[in-house]
């Protein structure tokens, strides 16, 4: 079988770790001997054995002389686990085929060099773009120190997230909401602005599908979040971070902390807090992927600051009208030619709703 066929199988294993490996990447590996796959593995969770080790352990026969197909360059340094290059060399594997090189400075070509120095044949770049796509959050995090940010929006066909008066439940159907909860489960954290908390009192947990609850993040410059809000439920277990400013009440901050919230004061910016500072702080906390769910004000603020990497827009087949609430706040675009472009766009039907996905910038 050609390299691509084996790499596709490694990729199918890698996705099994999605939502569980952060701050590590998702990685899959297969071991091939005599045109037969004899070992399979994937990275299941940070701190657990890497995909290469799992594949070697799972092999039903000796791997000496075999070829290893792995979606990401094997690590060559001690972290939470030993280096994979050492295990590969010790196992007697003679060829390693890699999807894409690891941008982590601790690896970044060093893994390839270590394998070659041991006399192992190395092939790189097989299904490179597809393998990189598996780790878009990890790549952004490891190269910038900030999370990969996905903006999730749900609107009517005419771009409204609520009717006149503010009623917003439910614009999209159950299938779209289930898909949105799946996005939550795959994200390290989910973020909303205080206006969304005040209007909708969201739980920001994963329901409808199986998955872990993300860390909840609320941007609230004046600390208006009610202490009775649902985001405080299990805050000490799942995590709740409230980003606020110096103008917030210290007495209320103390009460919020007693309920399990981590109240973080950051610099003020026009209309609220400095969102870039928020992203940097989330990165310091090893949050590699962030799902921004709204509302329109925080969405516009993040877009204007260039902090959004990916767009997921659900559109319901209905019209609300110009007196409804816009899906995104003012961006001050005076010339359509200078509007923010969305690239790599895909369109799919999710139940009766339309899902448009695309990227604001390359990864």
- Give DSSP secondary structure letters for 310-354: EEEEEEES----TTSEESS-------GGGSPP-EEEEEEEETTEE
On whether the pTM is more than 0.85, the answer is yes
Confidence at residue 226, expressed as pLDDT on a 0 to 100 scale: 96
Residues 269/275, Cβ–Cβ less than 8 Å = yes
Smallest Cα–Cα separation from 42: which of 65, 66, 71, 67? 71
Structure-token pair, residue 334? 């005076």
Classify residue 326 as exposed, middle or buried by CB count within 10 Å of its CB (0-12, 13-18, 19+).
middle
Q: Which residues are catalytic?
A: 52
Calculate the alpha carbon distances from 222 to 48, 79, 225, 291 in Å.
Answer: 41, 40, 9, 22
Q: What is the pLDDT of residue 363?
A: 41
Q: 3-state class of 39 per DSSP?
A: strand
pLDDT score at 362: 47
Asked if residue 33 lies in contact with residue 66, where contact means CB atoms within 8 angstroms, the answer is yes
* pLDDT score of 119: 95
State the pLDDT at residue 81: 75
Which residues neighbour 335 within 8 Å (Cβ) at sequence distance 6 or greater? Answer: none
Neighbours of 20 (CB within 10 A): 18
Contact between 316 and 173 under an 8 Å Cβ cutoff? The reply is yes
Which residues of the chain carry a pLDDT beneath 70? 1, 78, 362-363
The pLDDT assigned to 208 comes to: 86
What does the pLDDT read at residue 1?
57
**Residue 247 confidence (pLDDT):** 87
């Amino acid at each position: 079988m050609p390299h691509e066929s084996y790499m596709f199988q490694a990729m199918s294993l890698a996705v099994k770790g999605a939502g569980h490996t952060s701050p590590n990447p998702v990685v899959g590996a297969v071991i091939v001997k005599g045109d037969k796959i004899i070992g399979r593995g994937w990275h299941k969770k940070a701190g657990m054995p890497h995909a290469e080790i799992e594949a070697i352990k799972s092999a039903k026969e000796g791997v000496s002389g075999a070829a290893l197909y792995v979606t990401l360059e094997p690590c060559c340094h001690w972290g939470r686990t030993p280096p994979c290059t050492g295990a590969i060399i010790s196992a007697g594997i003679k060829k390693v085929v890699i999807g894409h090189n690891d941008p982590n400075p601790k690896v970044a070509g060093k893994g390839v060099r270590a394998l070659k120095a041991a006399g192992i044949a190395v092939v790189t770049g097989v299904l490179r773009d597809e393998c990189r796509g598996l780790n878009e959050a990890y790549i952004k995090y490891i190269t910038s120190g900030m999370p990969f940010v996905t903006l999730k929006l749900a609107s009517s066909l005419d771009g409204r997230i609520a009717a006149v008066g503010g009623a917003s439940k439910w614009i999209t159907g159950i299938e779209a909401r289930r898909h949105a909860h799946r996005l939550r489960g795959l994200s390290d954290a989910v973020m909303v602005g205080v206006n969304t908390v005040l209007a909708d009192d969201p739980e920001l947990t994963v329901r409808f599908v199986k998955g872990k609850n993300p860390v909840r993040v609320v941007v609230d410059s004046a600390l208006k979040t009610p202490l009775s809000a649902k985001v405080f439920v299990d805050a000490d277990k799942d995590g709740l971070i409230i980003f606020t400013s110096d103008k917030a009440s210290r007495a209320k901050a103390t009460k919020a902390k007693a309920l399990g919230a981590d109240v973080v004061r950051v610099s003020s910016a026009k209309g609220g807090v400095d969102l870039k500072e928020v992203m940097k702080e989330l990165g310091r906390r090893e949050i590699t992927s962030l799902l921004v769910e709204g509302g329109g004000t925080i969405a516009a603020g993040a877009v204007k600051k260039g902090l959004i990497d990916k767009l997921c827009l659900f559109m319901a087949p209905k019209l609300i009208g110009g007196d409804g609430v816009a899906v995104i706040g003012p961006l001050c675009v005076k010339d359509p030619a200078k509007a923010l472009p969305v690239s790599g766009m895909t369109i799919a039907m999710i139940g009766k709703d339309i899902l448009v996905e695309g990227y604001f910038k390359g990864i």
